[in-house]
């Protein structure tokens, strides 16, 4: 399977490094800003920046190339509303299977918070000083799941919910070299619940990106990393 990568940053380099010894994948190209794909590939990974994503999606659609989008800092809601995509597109603000698990936990934590109107839900996240978007795509993902479970909150960037719903607070810190830390907190009068995830290596996300590139081949439509993860995670939440 021939793979093209948009971007030359940390994630792109990590994916290229992991791909090198694989028998079922071959890196055809890795492009910087404004560079044009020199050849046809089976699937592509967009690990660039948010502003470049619409152009890369247009290229993928025109060339009929499946694409995995890992760039954050762009609004993917318009893409999700498309009903007839002729190619597979997978959008992932985070390629960690553990974060996909955490999103499911966030939904149940939101439902638990909804039992007591005196509780508060917040999300905290920390990343290295060079990360451009704040809050991160993962923080938005978790906040959205919390708000889905607890209707008195509205997801970040979604004012459609009733006026009495308030935004769910996200605290973002950009400093140092930390790869990524996300924390969900339920604060009550008599107890606090803290659930967190810390990435220790960028290979974590590179492995997930390669998993996503394999998964979309032969599919059609718009998917999330959660669609991929559900095959593995759904049985874990089944109560016998």
Structure tokens at 164: 């009495």
Cα 117 from Cα 193, distance rounded (Å)? 15
Q: Which residues are catalytic?
A: 127, 131
Cα 130 from Cα 220, distance rounded (Å)? 35
Distance from CA of residue 179 to its chain's centroid?
15
10 Å CB burial of residue 218 (0-12, 13-18, 19+) is exposed
Q: Does the bond joining 157 to the residue before it have cis omega, within 30 degrees of 0?
A: no
Whole-Å CA distances, 96 to 72, 169, 187, 204, 220:
15, 23, 26, 6, 23
């Amino acid at each position: 399977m021939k793979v093209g990568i948009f971007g030359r940053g940390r994630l792109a380099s990590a994916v290229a490094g992991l791909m090198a010894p694989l028998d079922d994948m071959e890196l055809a190209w890795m492009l910087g800003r404004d560079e044009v794909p020199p050849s046809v590939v089976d699937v592509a990974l967009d690990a660039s920046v948010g502003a470049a994503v619409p152009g890369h999606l247009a290229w993928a659609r025109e060339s009929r190339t499946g694409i995995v989008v890992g760039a954050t800092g762009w609004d993917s809601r318009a893409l999700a509303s498309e009903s007839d995509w002729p190619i597979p597109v997978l959008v992932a603000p985070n390629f960690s299977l553990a974060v996909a698990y955490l999103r499911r936990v966030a939904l149940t934590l939101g439902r638990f918070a909804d039992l007591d109107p005196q509780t508060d839900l917040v999300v905290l996240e920390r990343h290295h000083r060079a990360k451009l978007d704040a809050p991160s795509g993962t923080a938005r993902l978790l906040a959205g799941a919390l708000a889905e479970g607890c209707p008195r909150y509205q997801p970040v960037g979604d004012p459609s919910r009733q006026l009495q719903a308030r935004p769910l607070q996200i605290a973002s810190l950009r400093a140092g070299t930390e790869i990524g830390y996300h924390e969900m907190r339920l604060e009550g009068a008599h107890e606090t619940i803290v659930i967190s995830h810390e990435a220790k290596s960028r290979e974590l996300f590179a492995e997930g990106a390669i998993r996503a590139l394999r998964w979309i081949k032969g599919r059609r439509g718009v998917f999330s990393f959660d669609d991929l993860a559900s095959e593995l995670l759904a049985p874990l939440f089944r109560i016998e």
